[in-house]
Structure 1
């Protein structure tokens, strides 16, 4: 894992756009045509295209600046506002009669139903090329790395690319490119390109079916674009490069689950650039990029990745799917902050949960229904003994945590040693605190911290104490 001993300064050049999402549910078919009817209940917008590279770099901790061309339109204004909100310095030229790209995705039950685009794809004007290159010349010595994010929308013309790459090489600055199109010669002289398997096959005319064909593809890419490093991303098979001795080196993927590959290429470009700008070699940078990609493909939409997510993800690779839900206090603090940044509603409850029964499961299901994420504070063995007596708990804290983590309604379990979970609640800052209905009229620990406190009725006749008494009677 890489260590950050400085904040890298990275320049991004490319096509900026708005990624718009319309979120809804689908329960019926239109009587007008055989199509789904989606009831929209939420809309969201994020920077897309080169903007997703920027988002990832910011999330990783880099200082970022951007050069691009936008239209004099509503989407262009939204792009500028989003960049300003992120404190990203931007040298943008507004070109008349040009449409800033807007991609709108209709999402139903977390699946993409349709996408429609509004944009210009023609090359930018000569005046725009001149402006961008002049700005590049002014700024090049302030940056550790140049990332080019090409979405084939006309900003990155052959002329501009060659001017930028030539100037960067003269100033000993690496240029990394996420390419598009069928002619990679326009990126000639770049340090590396990040084509996916399909793009690399189209460019070389060779189908990648084994290591021999992969080696041929990498060799042709290197020669045709005069690259320092020849690289291909291979989806679930990771990232491959051709080393200095002409051997193929593959770093396998580390994705646990794949929900959406939207923007994964942007994350690879950003994370490679970030690691290389810190002085790491290409092998270490590839491993870092693989981890970053493994995080984002487990999210919906064009996603970003942070250093703590990558650290957490790397540690999770050696755990079972159930153990992944058991967190330390340090881990849950970082997770809670991240969830709040994502506007997730956090629900918290706590207890001993010694012998799990129907009443517990019902209670936890109701608790989860109040928000997006349920975090359960679990009393440690020593804490249970102080509260319940020397003959408790029946099940150890490890066993209790494991069983609770296997429940679909429980997102995270964190064990606490204290008699009350006050410090844990203070750390998590939940939106909703849940306790049993038997706390009606009593002081509830943490109610001064959470926004809302809710009480949940228990199922009559279901309790750990009664279960233990029944077992004792049966054994006497």
Structure 2
């Protein structure tokens, strides 16, 4: 599948290090920079995301003629780029981070440029795409009339997703989906308010104004609102993940939306997949971790966006307490919910180590589990007190615990801590094993027996 990205590119630079002292000249932190990382930003980041996902990725854009443009081209190595001259300096955005936290950003070459020309090759590149993402960053390319006409000719043949910018051109009428975030949607329309009601009102205005087939307003951790002609607005949820830096999440959403639309999904299902992809992107570390090699870790939950190991790492890096518990959770009942809520109050995140289907069968016989692991995992993840789920295949959770290295391992009060084989493992890195109140009147066995009586 070839996904073509059309839009403005810029050079992102991250300067990272520790800040353990203040400057003698002013009360500001001194960052001892030890890592300099450059990457293509804007439409270039979208193209790189698609390439990393294994898609054939192309980019139609324009470049300046300065030194920064040379660095930017180098960061796009491996992507098929069709380009023309921008007639303006290369925009460079430099972020300074101390211990992983943003301190300041300064921009260069970001004054409003003239509308660039488009070459014949740039226009011809649109003809071979299976889907197009227009990543407008307000640098004038999407205002070019020849490009707009060429994009209009693709409508109806392939999905066209338009990620708009307040300083950019209006999307062309008839695009498949437009993806402003909530702040942008309110700014475009003048609608006031917050949350889904404001998003729905703004989306209704944008549908009428831009005449797109759908408007998908991204809502951060609340997911996205999908609005289309003749249907009620639909909110698609996003998995809850910690995110110190949301940079790139909108790009990840738009690229995933285009891929899923090209695969034949309806816009609401494609938006749900895109919300999960954006959450997974942030849970894995966001842009800063985009090019890191995949870790050699145990099998993860088959529900996108719930990366237990990365949530544990990020919580620990932020100085928080990682709490974990485990079990089969075959039929989730009130006793489970109370135990999990009590466990979550012990720290800053709660990760549930969940026995896989094969593990449950070894422990409880061929008639169990009653519910499959994906359903059990999804129900657990839906609980407000659960931050992530990690599925393991072994009969006991020691291997998963060793990878997570929780500060606190929790079991229900029907266990004695000294009788748990994992207690010694947890104590080996200074962790503690504790119990929380158990509710004997609630149990999966009793619930299964009651269900059997009613057929």
TM-score range for the pair, normalised by the shorter chain length: 0.5 to 0.7
Among candidates 99, 108, 126, match of residue 98 of structure 2: 108
Label 1:41 to 1:130 Cα distance change in 2 as closer, same or farther (>3 A): closer
Conserved in 2, the CA contact under 8 Å of 1:26 and 1:108?
Answer: yes
Map 1:299-318 onto structure 2 (within 5 A).
299-301=285-287, 304=290, 312=300, 314-315=302-303
Separation (CA, whole Å) in 1 of partners of 2:304 and 2:56:
29
Q: Return the offset for 1:250.
A: 0.8
Map 1:60-139 onto structure 2 (within 5 A).
60-84=53-77, 87-96=78-87, 98-125=88-115, 128-131=116-119, 134-139=120-125
What SS does structure 2 have at the residue aligned with 1:177? strand
What SS does structure 2 have at the residue aligned with 1:301? helix
What SS does structure 2 have at the residue aligned with 1:296? helix
Map 1:276-295 onto structure 2 (within 5 A).
276-295=261-280
RMSD: 3.3
Q: Return the offset for 1:236.
A: 1.1
Conserved in 1, the CA contact under 8 Å of 2:82 and 2:125?
Answer: no
What SS does structure 1 have at the residue aligned with 2:160? strand
Q: Return the offset for 1:166.
A: 1.9
Aligned twin of 1:465: none
Aligned twin of 2:398: 400
Q: How many residues align?
A: 325
Q: Return the offset for 1:406.
A: 5.2
Q: Return the offset for 1:288.
A: 1.3
Among candidates 176, 189, 207, match of residue 222 of structure 1: 207
Q: Return the offset for 1:208.
A: 4.0
Label 1:214 to 1:23 Cα distance change in 2 as closer, same or farther (>3 A): closer
Q: Which has the higher relative contact order, 1 or 2, with Cα contacts under 8 A spaced 6 or more apart?
A: 1
Q: Return the offset for 1:291.
A: 1.4
Separation (CA, whole Å) in 2 of partners of 1:130 and 1:141:
15
Q: Return the offset for 1:63.
A: 0.7
What SS does structure 2 have at the residue aligned with 1:21? strand
Aligned twin of 2:8: 15
Matched, 1:165 2:161: no
Conserved in 2, the CA contact under 8 Å of 1:26 and 1:38?
Answer: yes
Aligned twin of 2:129: 143
TM-score, structure 1 as length reference: 0.62
Label 1:274 to 1:25 Cα distance change in 2 as closer, same or farther (>3 A): same
Aligned twin of 1:261: 246
Map 1:416-427 onto structure 2 (within 5 A).
none
What SS does structure 2 have at the residue aligned with 1:276? helix
Q: Return the offset for 1:313.
A: 5.6
Separation (CA, whole Å) in 2 of partners of 1:324 and 1:38:
26
Q: Return the offset for 1:25.
A: 0.4
Separation (CA, whole Å) in 2 of partners of 1:302 and 1:399:
31
Deviations 1:423-443 (A, max 9, x none): xxxxxxxxxxxxxxxxxxxxx
Label 1:24 to 1:67 Cα distance change in 2 as closer, same or farther (>3 A): same
Q: Return the offset for 1:206.
A: 1.0
Label 1:36 to 1:130 Cα distance change in 2 as closer, same or farther (>3 A): same
Deviations 1:232-280 (A, max 9, x none): 0011110111244330111101132222100100000111111111222
Separation (CA, whole Å) in 1 of partners of 2:306 and 2:39:
33
Q: Return the offset for 1:187.
A: 3.6
Separation (CA, whole Å) in 1 of partners of 2:311 and 2:167:
42
Separation (CA, whole Å) in 1 of partners of 2:118 and 2:152:
15
What SS does structure 1 have at the residue aligned with 2:141? coil
What SS does structure 1 have at the residue aligned with 2:170? helix
Conserved in 1, the CA contact under 8 Å of 2:261 and 2:267?
Answer: yes
Q: Return the offset for 1:37.
A: 0.7
Matched, 1:58 2:48: no
Q: Return the offset for 1:403.
A: 4.9
Deviations 1:31-76 (A, max 9, x none): 1112111111111111111111011111221111111111111111
Label 1:181 to 1:214 Cα distance change in 2 as closer, same or farther (>3 A): closer
Separation (CA, whole Å) in 1 of partners of 2:127 and 2:55:
16
Structure 2: give runs of 5+ residues left out of the alignment: 313-358, 360-393, 409-427, 430-455
Aligned twin of 1:237: 222
Label 1:302 to 1:239 Cα distance change in 2 as closer, same or farther (>3 A): farther
Separation (CA, whole Å) in 2 of partners of 1:62 and 1:204:
35
Structure 1: give runs of 5+ residues left out of the alignment: 1-7, 326-379, 381-395, 411-457, 460-476
Q: Return the offset for 1:174.
A: 2.5
Conserved in 2, the CA contact under 8 Å of 1:262 and 1:302?
Answer: no
Structure possessing the higher radius of gyration over alpha carbons: 1
Q: Return the offset for 1:26.
A: 0.5
Conserved in 1, the CA contact under 8 Å of 2:256 and 2:274?
Answer: yes
TM-score, structure 2 as length reference: 0.64
Aligned twin of 1:192: 177
